[in-house]
Amino acid sequence: MNIIWLLPIIILIAGAVLIALLGRFARKETVGWNLAYAVIANVCLLVVLGLIIFFYSSVGSIPAEDLYLKLGDKSYVAGVYTIFRLDSLTWWFMLIFVLLGSVVAIFSIRYMDQDDRLDKYYLLLLFLVAGMIGVVMAGDLLTLFIFWETMSIASYILVSFRKDDPEPIEAGIKYLFMSAFGSVLLLFGMSLLYGVSGTLNIAEIGTILTADITANGFSGVYVITIICLILGFGVKAAIVPLHTWLPDAHPAAPSGISAMLSGVVIMTGMFGMTNTLTVFFSGSTGTEAIGSALLWISVITMAVGNLLALRQNDIKRLLAFSTVLNVGFILFGLSMSLSGIDTDVAAVGIQGGYFHIFTHALGKGLAFLCAGAILYRFHDRGLDRLKGIGKKMPLTIGALTISLLSLAGVPPLPGFWSKFNMVVAAVGSGNWQYFVGVALFLLSSVISVVYYLIVLQRLWFKEPGEHLEDIKETPVEIVIPLMVLVLLMFVVGIFPGYFSNLASEAAKALIGI
């Protein structure tokens, strides 16, 4: 692996440092300085997006021995060095992170124009994306943890960015404490793994653990480690009952950050949990118990997300609980990597999970950006106060309609295709647990249609009240990123095969086929 594969991380961090330096020497905040910060952030993200797209032609041709880049292998501590990995799985997540990050950065140019401290906003956004890329590229546990904390710290501050309002501060503190609890569990689990294997190399740990478990079975140390990994990553992934920070953080954060949190940050937690468990334990005897545990966690997460979403009047809280629902959908597919079912069938389910991460990032990212566009014109999140606003903001509410229909799984929008793959895999699994699970999966999807349609009915078909009399369509600078996501969703929905194949390559990289 060539050092050039680290350019996405290097460019994003360099851009963040440049913004920090400019912000330090700027005597006062002006429109010109704020525009400069936005331009730097957007250029960095778009350049990185171009690099990642360019990398794809090389990813499939990299020999297995060149997938890893090792730095500091002369460390004085045995088994402790930095490793980066680039394969189809890493590339897929990098694409999703940077694609949504780029759209959010463009959206933020106008959306954040009334805020101050924009140098800090954009540098934190760049650190957030760099941290997520580092997590998925990490080939050792130490590097993973460093980038995990980089991502986490940036997200804590961004949730609390509007510090003059008590709601963001409360939400940020809650998010901080819950995530810190998860990080402690992760660190403890990693220490156990190092004690057992003598290395932090993720691939080597997997080889050592598989051999040991096959020979001696699961010990108490491995059970504790599995619990630590599920709970540690599960806080960020917002699985039930570790989801309680999410409905507070999403409404409180600026809408662009809500889109990042819901669309990609929680998916970094999903990646960490399923990737480490699969690499460490999938080849061992008895891993079906881990797959079953993840399956039933996914079903419970779906149910709780749906039931709580039905009760919401705040549009951003409703979207937040919808995210919990979709976390359940994704975990349902990814749990098949540890279920013991036929490998080819499992690959289809994992592909569906990875494809749904992409379609959810598009759909939920667009939904939160639409909510932000509404708030830009009318500073209220209550659905009862937003009745009829579709007549005043048809482009914005039209984009929101597309996003909600995709999340509901209405064909031919992309959300349908990703769910379809997971259903096909579950039906073909031959496993009674997945037969029950897929019935609950479909029921949850139907229930979600109910509250999505309630939202659309209120926004489109009610008469706007007098308080909406002066409301007009959102500025063109905000409409453009919304339309970009709408166009991309139609492209993915009409031509799902290409994107589904990319997700399939990622799935095969996870389970080694």
Least Cα distance to 371 among 402, 408, 397, 407 occurs for: 397
Residue 184 has pLDDT above 60, yes or no: yes
Give the number of other Cβ atoms within 10 Å of residue 288's Cβ: 14
Residue 65 has pLDDT above 60, yes or no: no
Give the whole-angstrom CA distance, residue 319 versus residue 15.
31
Question: How much is the pLDDT for 80?
Answer: 63
341: which residues sit within 8 A by CB, 6+ positions away? 429, 430, 431, 434
Residue recorded with tokens 């629902």: 325
Q: What is the pLDDT of residues 229-275, one digit of tens each?
A: 999 999 999 898 988 898 888 888 888 899 999 888 999 999 999 99
Main-chain phi, psi angles of 72, to 5 degrees? 70, 35
379: which residues sit within 8 A by CB, 6+ positions away? none
Q: What is the pLDDT of residues 293-338, one digit of tens each?
A: 999 999 999 999 999 988 888 888 999 999 999 999 999 999 988 8
Question: How much is the pLDDT for 360?
Answer: 93
Concatenate the DSSP letters of all residues of 32-53 into one string.
HHHHHHHHHHHHHHHHHHHHHH
Question: How much is the pLDDT for 312?
Answer: 85
CA 26 to chain centre: 34
Q: Which one-letter DSSP state was computed for residue 77?
A: S
**Parallel/antiparallel/unpaired status of strands 82-85 and 68-71:** antiparallel
Say if CB 408 and CB 449 are below 8 A apart: yes
467: which residues sit within 8 A by CB, 6+ positions away? 385
Cα-based distances in Å from 76 to 79, 81, 146, 194: 9, 9, 19, 15
Helices and strands in the chain: count of H runs, count of E runs = 19, 2
Q: Please list the residues that pair with 382 across neighbouring strands.
A: 314
Q: What is the pLDDT of residues 369-404, one digit of tens each?
A: 999 999 888 877 888 888 888 888 899 999 999 999
Q: Please list the residues that pair with 140 across neighbouring strands.
A: 201
